[in-house]
Amino acid sequence: MTLRFFDTLSGTLRDFEPLRPGEVGMYTCGPTVHDFQHIGNYRTFLFEDLLRRHLRGKRYRVVQVMNLTDVDDKIIRKAAAKHMTIGEYTAVYTEAFFQDLRTLNIEPAEVYPRATDHVGDMVTLIERLMEKGHAYELDGSIYFRIASFPPYGRLAKLDPKGLKAGARVDADEYDKEDVRDFVLWKAPREGDPVWDTRIGRGRPGWSIECSAMSMKYLGESFDIHTGGVDNIFPHHENEIAQSEAATGKPFVRYWLHAEHLQMTGEKMAKSLGNFTTVRDALAEGYQPRAIRYALLTGAQYRRKLNFSPDMFGAAESALRRLDDFVARVRAVPDSRPGEPLDLVSPTQAAWEAALDDDLNLPVALGHLFDLVHEVNRLIESGSLGAPAKRQVLELLGDVDRILGVLRLEEQTLDAEVERLIAEREAARTSGNFQRADSIRADLARRGILLEDTKQGVRWKRTGP
């Protein structure tokens, strides 16, 4: 199957053809660093990770640009409340964001431009818009004239009759009821950070940053632009207007939007107070990979996903079953003869076809679990030989280049833990069960679970 994506602008599934063969330029709207990001935000960032991993798996060279919004209405308000500069205020949350990306095993983008480092590029873009009559100044602010750009509203499917051309909106975020000339540059206000520029003193509006930075790093036309569905209006609608009005070229070839993570039927959002963070989940003792797995695989990215209190626990159980599976496959002796397994190559093909079909990871996983089921059966009957073992481990390796959660390496223990296990064995043999139990509890706290079997003691990792 050819790779295809649901493109929000055309409203259809479209075969993917990049501008330049073998290369993909993608822009992914990044965090507004006004607070810790919640797990809804990470659902979107994990969808983007899936997209980039699948493209790379298909041998595309990917250049991903993710911006850091480090100046906007919210940041200014919160920094002022703490008597900090926006730079001081955002440093903590920027660092936390990168830490969370590592926790969730999200592959780094190639470029992370900060809005405050690109005000000059935004000014140049605004000048181009003014020269072409798409922007005008009023009381020190500069607005985009939506009436000058007839395709305005196509992405968000706005009714052209509802457009209030000539009326203005100054906020960074607003609803579809407020479709107006939007602000590109904001006149200085008491307490705001300001830049002295050729277009005057002030600061940029939100959406201009993504037009300026995406085109700077990816060119005036590029392949993929993504975000959560809340970015469609006004942010991405405004990006299209700013970019295409300035360049006269199509801005983006494919617009991909991830549906929301919801809590109690509503979008998870800072402003609604119904959110939880990666940090909260870690503090509750969940493994990082369980958070990744739950948010990544809970639903195809264009479907809403409901938060449930046991979603990370359920993900941990699923991963434990996969760990056990890997261990069982590994335990098949390399000397055991046998036939290769016919099922592996169709599973590989079905996995890839499901991902090619608009990144349908739940369907891809269904194919994987069918194989797991069958291989488990063969292991139980002692009929999985070494050739099939190698095939299955190779397939799991491919799968994990997307999932990023499996423990495929031979698990080893450090010397201290080995010593404790031996000490516990000795304590048990000599009847010192109190000592044996206390060592067992100590190891459990370190994420190592001991099981006493007929063949002796076995261990499993339960922790990170």
Least Cβ distance, residue 12 to Zn ion (angstroms): 23
Residue 236 interacts with, from ligand AMP, Zn ion, none (CB under 5-8 Å by kind): none
Least Cβ distance, residue 39 to ligand AMP (angstroms): 8
Q: How far is CA 141 from CA 115, 152, 188, 203, 296, in A?
A: 18, 21, 8, 9, 41
Cα(115)–Cα(203) distance, integer angstroms: 11
Residue 210 interacts with, from ligand AMP, Zn ion, none (CB under 5-8 Å by kind): Zn ion
Residue 44 interacts with, from Zn ion, ligand AMP, none (CB under 5-8 Å by kind): ligand AMP
Read off φ and ψ for residue 195, nearest 5 degrees: -115, 140
For 303, counting Cβ atoms within 10 Å of its Cβ (0-12 exposed, 13-18 middle, 19+ buried), the class is exposed
Cα(91)–Cα(87) distance, integer angstroms: 6
Asked if 29 interacts with ligand AMP (CB under 6 A), we say: yes
If you write DSSP's letter for every residue of 56-71 in order, what string do you get? Answer: HHTTPEEEEEE-BB--
- Nearest-CB residue for ligand AMP: 228
Site string for ligand AMP, 30-49 (x = CB under 6 A): -xx-------xx-xx-----
Least Cβ distance, residue 46 to ligand AMP (angstroms): 10
Positive/negative CA dihedral, 113, 118, 119, 121? negative
Q: Which long-range contacts (CB under 8 A, 24 or more apart) does 263-271 make?
A: 263/306, 263/307, 265/306, 267/40, 267/230, 268/38, 268/39, 268/40, 268/307, 269/38, 269/40, 270/35, 270/38
Read off φ and ψ for residue 229, nearest 5 degrees: -60, -25
Asked if 106 interacts with ligand AMP (CB under 6 A), we say: no
- What b-and-e string marks burial along 235-257, b requiring 16 or more CB atoms within 10 Å of the CB? bbbbbbbbbbbbbeeebbbbbbb
Asked if 208 interacts with Zn ion (CB under 5 A), we say: no
Asked if 173 interacts with ligand AMP (CB under 6 A), we say: no
Which tokens sit at 387?
Answer: 């050739």
In the bound state with Zn ion, the residue whose beta carbon lies nearer, of 42 and 325, is: 42
Question: Binding to Zn ion (CB under 5 A): which residues in 209-228?
Answer: 210
Asked if 268 interacts with ligand AMP (CB under 6 A), we say: yes
Least Cβ distance, residue 230 to ligand AMP (angstroms): 5
Taking alpha carbons only, the member of 254, 301, 259, 257 closest to residue 14 is 254
Query: Candidates 93-101, 224-232, 321-329, 348-356 — which segment interacts with ligand AMP by CB under 6 A?
Result: 224-232
Least Cβ distance, residue 309 to ligand AMP (angstroms): 17
| DSSP helix/strand/coil, 202 | strand
- What b-and-e string marks burial along 357-385, b requiring 16 or more CB atoms within 10 Å of the CB? bbbbbeebbebbeebbebbbebbeeeebb
Single out the residue of 18, 205, 227, 234 in contact with ligand AMP (rule: CB under 6 A).
Answer: 227
In the bound state with Zn ion, the residue whose beta carbon lies nearer, of 210 and 295, is: 210
Tokens 């009714």 -> residue? 159
Asked if 29 interacts with Zn ion (CB under 5 A), we say: yes
Tokens 């509503």 -> residue? 266
Cα(153)–Cα(140) distance, integer angstroms: 26
Contact 185, 221 (CB under 8 A): no
Cα(148)–Cα(235) distance, integer angstroms: 18
In the bound state with ligand AMP, the residue whose beta carbon lies nearer, of 32 and 197, is: 32
In the bound state with ligand AMP, the residue whose beta carbon lies nearer, of 153 and 227, is: 227
In the bound state with ligand AMP, the residue whose beta carbon lies nearer, of 258 and 371, is: 258
Residue 424 interacts with, from Zn ion, ligand AMP, none (CB under 5-8 Å by kind): none
Query: Candidates 264-272, 290-298, 321-329, 407-415 — which segment interacts with ligand AMP by CB under 6 A?
Result: 264-272
Query: Candidates 25-33, 110-118, 127-135, 263-271 — which segment interacts with Zn ion by CB under 5 A?
Result: 25-33
* Residues written for the chain: 464
- Other CB atoms within 10 A of residue 345 CB: 12
Asked if 230 interacts with ligand AMP (CB under 6 A), we say: yes
Least Cβ distance, residue 280 to ligand AMP (angstroms): 15
Residue 186 interacts with, from ligand AMP, Zn ion, none (CB under 5-8 Å by kind): none
Single out the residue of 205, 228, 234, 385 in contact with ligand AMP (rule: CB under 6 A).
Answer: 228
Least Cβ distance, residue 161 to ligand AMP (angstroms): 28
Contact residues toward Zn ion (CB under 5 A) are 29, 210
Contact residues toward ligand AMP (CB under 6 A) are 29, 31-32, 40-41, 43-44, 227-228, 230-231, 258, 260-261, 267-269
